[in-house]
């Protein structure tokens, strides 16, 4: 047993020196205190990284199929009334959402930005089931009114009991309403007078769109939109105005849900129109993103980059549709963010590296100072130091 203990003792890589041979110095004490402080700071920094999750980023090819894209928006038009603003969404697959009314809210605002009225948009007015009174005829006892659509009816049972329903029927036919005063419903409701009364008002429109996950565009523009000879057209004649102020502020624009660290570059962007008419264009590159929390919860979302462009109109001729257009395209690359904790072994390795590294560097510095002091002292003793 003694032989075994002796052999183990001979393997000691840290031979001990008798304390009688130690020489303690002031510089050594200062270096020891400084190295201790450095080791503690580095240790607590490493401990903080260990206790908190770190985010790992990867780029992969987006192989998802058949997904939908949710577009959240909040845009304010300080000089365009809500009755003029319409929202359309079109994608390259051919799907069209014209004059979107569902899942959006419009707020009428005054010149100071105060809310006058908030209106939850619906999907048109309810249809009248089996109307008893025909278009333009005389009402009889217990009969239900059924207004004329002025030739835009799809069937004999279609009724247009309000100015909005007449305009919607015209839109579906691809017709423009040139003079609303010629329509009884619009004249009775005071359509043009309402536009005059709302002069100087603005509109805040917010909500979301649910579209195909393919390239496309959505835009805010005055007037109802319709297709005419495969061309997207907006009916501006009904407003009887020569110019439209499309000044706007994008309060929020996001593709998908929020996740930690997301930056939406258009949030807070504001444009003031200097010309009578103009088209504001935003070209967006949408990057699919998956964020995985440390608890395993996944958030399917998107990031995007943007390029801006303004297209004005020539004097005396309107070359482009006034509006705010967002053209988006999808990136084939998906970004994944994964939250995870550092392993305990990795933490232990870093702590050992901190202690060993600081101890070694401190020893080198102490040795350099100690031997330097001895050399200077020796030269002073023999009178060679000057």
pLDDT digits (tens, 9 = 90+) for 44-59: 998 888 888 888 899 9
Among 8-22, 102-116, 268-282, 331-345, the range scoring the smallest mean pLDDT is 8-22
For residues 224 and 251, state if they share a domain.
Answer: yes
For residues 220 and 271, state if they share a domain.
Answer: yes
The answer to whether residue 179 is domain-embedded is no
pLDDT tens sequence across 99-112: 888 889 999 998 88
Within 10 angstroms of residue 132's Cβ, the number of other Cβ atoms is 13
Q: What angle do CA 185, 189, 192 make, to 5 degrees?
A: 100
pLDDT tens sequence across 75-86: 999 989 888 889
Task: Please give the C-alpha separations between residue 208 and each of 87, 239, 254, 301, in angstroms, as whole numbers.
Answer: 11, 27, 9, 14
For residues 225 and 270, state if they share a domain.
Answer: yes
For residues 333 and 249, state if they share a domain.
Answer: yes
66 contact partners, CB below 8 Å, separation of at least 6: none
* pLDDT at residue 133, as a whole number: 43
164 contact partners, CB below 8 Å, separation of at least 6: 124, 125
369 contact partners, CB below 8 Å, separation of at least 6: 27, 31
Say whether pLDDT at 325 is over 90.
yes
Quick check: 56 and 338 in contact, CB under 8 A? Answer: yes
* pLDDT at residue 139, as a whole number: 45
The answer to whether residue 144 is domain-embedded is no
* pLDDT at residue 40, as a whole number: 92
Residues linked to residue 91 through DSSP beta bridges, in sequence order? 216
Say whether pLDDT at 125 is over 50.
no
Percentage of residues in the chain with pLDDT exceeding 70? 87
For residues 244 and 281, state if they share a domain.
Answer: yes
pLDDT tens sequence across 355-375: 899 988 888 888 888 788 888
For residues 228 and 82, state if they share a domain.
Answer: yes
* pLDDT at residue 132, as a whole number: 40
* pLDDT at residue 61, as a whole number: 94
Say whether pLDDT at 346 is over 90.
no
* pLDDT at residue 159, as a whole number: 86
Element (H, E) at 361: helix 344-381
Distance between CA atoms of 144 and 163, rounded to whole angstroms? 18
Say whether pLDDT at 315 is over 70.
no
* pLDDT at residue 14, as a whole number: 65
pLDDT tens sequence across 195-245: 777 788 899 999 999 999 999 999 999 887 777 667 777 877 777 777 888
Distance between CA atoms of 174 and 160, rounded to whole angstroms? 16
| pTM tops 0.75, yes or no | no
The answer to whether residue 307 is domain-embedded is yes
The answer to whether residue 223 is domain-embedded is yes
120 contact partners, CB below 8 Å, separation of at least 6: 105
The answer to whether residue 255 is domain-embedded is yes
Say whether pLDDT at 135 is over 50.
no
| Domain with 286 in it | 60-125+203-339
Say whether pLDDT at 316 is over 50.
no
Residue 235 backbone dihedrals phi, psi, to 5 degrees:
-85, 100
Say whether pLDDT at 131 is over 70.
no
- In the predicted model, what is the mean pLDDT of residues 311-332? 78
For residues 373 and 232, state if they share a domain.
Answer: no
SS3 label, residue 210:
strand
The answer to whether residue 16 is domain-embedded is yes
Quick check: 290 and 298 in contact, CB under 8 A? Answer: yes
Quick check: 57 and 238 in contact, CB under 8 A? Answer: no
The answer to whether residue 316 is domain-embedded is yes
* pLDDT at residue 49, as a whole number: 84
Which tokens in the block code for residue 12? 């000691």
Residue spans of alpha helices (H) in 11-55: 26-51
The mean of the pLDDT values for the chain is 82
For residues 31 and 46, state if they share a domain.
Answer: yes
Say whether pLDDT at 124 is over 50.
no
The answer to whether residue 163 is domain-embedded is no
For residues 233 and 294, state if they share a domain.
Answer: yes
For residues 247 and 350, state if they share a domain.
Answer: no
For residues 32 and 76, state if they share a domain.
Answer: no
For residues 221 and 106, state if they share a domain.
Answer: yes
SS3 label, residue 237:
helix
Helix (H) and strand (E) counts in the chain: 6, 16
Q: Where do we find the tokens 């247009």? A: 160
* pLDDT at residue 153, as a whole number: 84
Ranked by mean pLDDT, the top range of 5-14, 147-156, 312-321 is 147-156
For the chain, how many structural domains are there in total? 2
- In the predicted model, what is the mean pLDDT of residues 159-163? 85
Ranked by mean pLDDT, the top range of 196-205, 270-279, 327-336 is 327-336
* pLDDT at residue 188, as a whole number: 82
């Amino acid at each position: 047993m003694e032989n075994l203990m002796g052999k183990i003792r001979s393997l000691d890589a840290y031979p001990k020196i008798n304390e009688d041979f130690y020489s303690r110095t002031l510089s050594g004490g200062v270096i020891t205190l400084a190295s201790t402080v450095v080791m503690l700071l580095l240790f607590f920094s490493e401990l903080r990284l260990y206790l908190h999750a770190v985010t790992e980023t990867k780029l992969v090819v987006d192989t998802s199929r058949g997904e939908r894209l949710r577009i959240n928006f909040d845009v304010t038009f300080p000089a365009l009334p809500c009755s003029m603003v319409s929202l359309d969404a079109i994608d390259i697959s051919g799907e069209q959402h014209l004059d979107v009314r569902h899942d959006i809210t419009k707020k009428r605002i005054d010149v100071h930005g105060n809310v006058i009225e908030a209106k939850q948009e619906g999907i048109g007015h309810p249809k009248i089931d089996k109307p008893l009174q025909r278009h333009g005829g005389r009402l009889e006892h217990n009969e239900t009114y059924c207004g004329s659509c002025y030739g835009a009816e799809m069937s004999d049972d279609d009724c247009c009991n309000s100015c909005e329903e007449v305009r919607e029927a015209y839109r579906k036919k691809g017709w423009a309403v040139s003079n609303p005063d010629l329509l009884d419903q619009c004249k009775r409701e005071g359509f043009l007078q309402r536009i005059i009364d709302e002069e100087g008002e603005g509109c805040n429109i917010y909500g979301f769109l649910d579209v195909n996950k393919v390239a496309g565009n959505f835009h805010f523009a005055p007037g109802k939109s319709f297709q005419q000879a495969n061309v997207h057209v907006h009916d501006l004649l009904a407003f009887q105005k020569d110019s439209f102020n499309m000044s706007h502020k994008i309060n929020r624009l996001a593709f998908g849900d929020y996740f930690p660290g997301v930056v939406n570059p258009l949030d807070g962007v504001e444009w003031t129109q200097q010309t009578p008419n103009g088209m504001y264009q935003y070209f967006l590159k949408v990057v699919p993103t998956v964020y995985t929390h440390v608890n395993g919860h996944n958030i399917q979302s998107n990031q995007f980059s943007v390029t801006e462009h303004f297209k004005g109109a020539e004097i005396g001729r309107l070359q482009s549709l006034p509006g705010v257009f967002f053209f988006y395209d999808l990136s084939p690359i998906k970004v994944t963010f994964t939250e995870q904790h550092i392993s305990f072994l990795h933490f232990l390795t870093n702590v050992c590296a901190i202690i060993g590294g600081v101890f070694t560097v401190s020893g080198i510095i102490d040795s350099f100072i100690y031997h330097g002091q001895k050399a200077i002292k020796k030269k002073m003793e023999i009178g060679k130091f000057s």
